[in-house]
Each structure stands twice: as structure tokens, then as C-alpha cells.
Structure 1
Amino acid sequence: MTLSLPQHYREILVGLGEDPEREGLLDTPKRAAKAMQYLCHGYEQTLEEIVNGALFASESDEMVIVKDIELYSLCEHHLLPFIGKAHVAYIPTGKVLGLSKIARIVDMYARRLQIQENLTRQIADAIQGVTMAAGVAVVIEAQHMCMMMRGVEKQNSTMNTSVMLGAFRESTTTRMEFLQLIGRSK
């Protein structure tokens, strides 16, 4: 017989030496299971559902940037949170993506068990695939609780990752413009 998610959380409590029958923990397995399902709801979403046809004809061929998109994810190695922000840019080629869709794409991939390197790549590839842009750039800066709360316990460390596609990879000028606009280049 397979245990349900709340039953697994109950077993974790027992494994930690806790009494799952004590008053404060009676509903913890259900609450923890519900929280984990919410934190990982990106698995229930698809790129097609997120975009929902929100591509609009445009003659713009200048860089579009959405910066400081908050993100919350779970490290796939320790199931601990990492929290940060994403900066996303693309250069349109006839179509622009609805503004909120960029943040929703970030959320969809962040709400899965992740490593930051893969998250950055997934967002870039998704934006590229949807927009067919001349270039896509994604930079993520995040703090990882698996490094802050355990292990080396470095409270002020931040991890930065980037993926540059198309014009952002091929043109130093385009890449530098993006980095300057998000405040990451001096």
C-alpha cells in the first residue's frame, strides 16, 4: 500500500523523534502536504496554458525587459527554499508577449523542484520558443536556504546565473546594454 503525502509527512515527524499525536502536530502532516503541493504547482501547468495566446503583433524590434520578478523555488537536493529575482529580456521579431506572461513563465518553472542553473535555462528556452525572438536573456539572483540554514551557513551569499540566447549571446553590445539596464554591469 502506498502512503499518501500527509502520511509521509507523519512518518517524517516520527523519524525526527517527534510525536505526531501531540496537539501542535495533529494537523501538521495535512498542512505540510498542502503547502508542498502549492509550492510545486508548476508541475500542473503548461507553457501553452500560461501564454494562453497572449502574443500580439508589433513592429517593435527593440529590447523588452522585465526586471526584478520575484521568485520562490525549492532546491531539488534538500527541498529547502531559494528566493530571489529574475530579469528577463527579449528582442521581438514581429510579436510581443503579454507582460504578465513573462512573470507567469518564471513562476511556472520556479514552482518545481529545481536547481537555479536549470531554472534559468528553462525560462530562457520557454521565452525563445514562444516569441521566436532575435535574442533572449535571463539573469537570476537568489539566496539558497540550503546554503544559509545548513552546511556552510553563509548568510550573505547570493548565486547569480545567466543564459544568453541569440543576439544576447552573439553581440557584446546587446549583452552589455541588457546588463547595464538591469544594473549588473559597471
Structure 2
Amino acid sequence: MLLQCVGEDPDGEGLLTTPSRYAKALLFLTEGYQIKLTDIINNALFHEEHHEMIIVKDIEIYSLCEHHLIPFTGKMHIGYIPSDIIIGLSKLPRIAEMFSRRLQIQERLTKEVAGAIMQSLTPQGVVVIMESSHLCMAMRGVQKTGTTTITCCALGSFEEPKVRNEFMSLVGVNRT
């Protein structure tokens, strides 16, 4: 029906299997609804006497804007200060991926990732910063291709400006 609405012939040679391919692609792009946080963490929590900042930066993110079903892409930077429990480093990008593979808005995505880490690790603090380009702004609407949207969620010790600024400096968000 969508193909017909845009003026295409769904019986055209190149479009015969498009509805099936599109359905499979959409299921893949939204597979985050089928994944549980506990399955991602999978007991990869370790007691460690480390109380300094841990950062995983430049995590590539691909998500679908819930308003237009058009992609937004970018980089996410995650930092936390442990309270005797650390998580396997690969789990942080996996958590980000789980939430990004849902229909999203960037503001919520940033907050959900930070909240999940805070809940799972009970660290001293968590901060998540995301820098993204939204195709819904570039391809339609305002049609500004060079724009970047930056969102931040700072919890616990990262609410203190000194700690937050150290994180931002380390991940390069303050660059000019």
C-alpha cells in the first residue's frame, strides 16, 4: 500500500520483494525491544577497588526517529565512576545498542542508557553524551545537513560541574 501511495507499481520487477525486505529490515532495526538488559550484562559485573572514571567513547549509534521513522546516527560517549563494581567494557556499547534499536528520540535514548547503567552498577555517577545527525532534519523539514544535536544525561557525581567538565574534556566534546 505504501508503494502505491507514493506512485509506484508494487508489481514492478524491482519492487516485488520490497515489502518483505522492508519488514525484515524494520524488525532488525527495532530488535532492541526483544533484548533484556539482564541478558546483555550476563553476569559481567566484577568487584574491583577502582574509583576513577571509566570511559568508552565514540560508540557508533544508529537509530530510527519515532516521529518520522527516519534514521539518526552519531556517536555516544559513556562514562562512570564505580562504587566497587565494574562492568565488562563491551557491555556499555551493547547497552547503547539495545536502546538505540528501538523507535527513539535522542533525548530519551541518552537518558535510558544512563539510567540502565546507574541501575545496574549503582556507581558513584554516570554520564552519557550523544552527538548525532538527524536525517529528518537534513532530508525534510528544515533541510539543514550540517547540524549536530548534542544531548547529555549526568547522574550522581557527574552532576558536579568539575567532574562533568573532566569527562567532556576527555571525550573531546569541548573541541572547537
Q: Which residue of 2 aligns with 1:7?
A: none
Show CA shifts across 1:43-66 (max 9, x none).
000111111111011000000000
- Runs of 5+ in structure 1 lacking a partner? 1-10
- Runs of 5+ in structure 2 lacking a partner? none
Amino acid at match of 1:95: I
7, 20, 28: which one aligns with 2:18: 28
Measured after TM superposition, the shift of residue 184 of structure 1 is 1.5
CA RMSD of aligned residues (A): 0.7
TM, length-normalised to structure 2: 0.98
Q: Quick one: distance in 2 between partners of 1:90 and 1:68?
A: 15
Q: Quick one: distance in 2 between partners of 1:14 and 1:184?
A: 45
34, 45, 54: which one aligns with 2:35: 45
Q: Which residue of 2 aligns with 1:185?
A: 174
Q: Quick one: distance in 2 between partners of 1:78 and 1:134?
A: 37
Aligned pair 1:145/2:124, yes or no?
A: no
Q: Quick one: distance in 1 between partners of 2:63 and 2:75?
A: 11
Q: Quick one: distance in 2 between partners of 1:184 and 1:155?
A: 20
154, 165, 173: which one aligns with 1:176: 165
Identity over aligned pairs, percent:
51
Amino acid at match of 1:136: V
State the number of aligned residues.
Answer: 175
Q: Which residue of 2 aligns with 1:86?
A: 76
Amino acid at match of 1:183: G
Show CA shifts across 1:115-156 (max 9, x none).
000000000000101110000000000000000011111010
Q: Quick one: distance in 2 between partners of 1:32 and 1:73?
A: 16
The residue matched to 1:176 in structure 2 has which SS?
A: helix
Aligned pair 1:121/2:111, yes or no?
A: yes
The residue matched to 1:96 in structure 2 has which SS?
A: strand
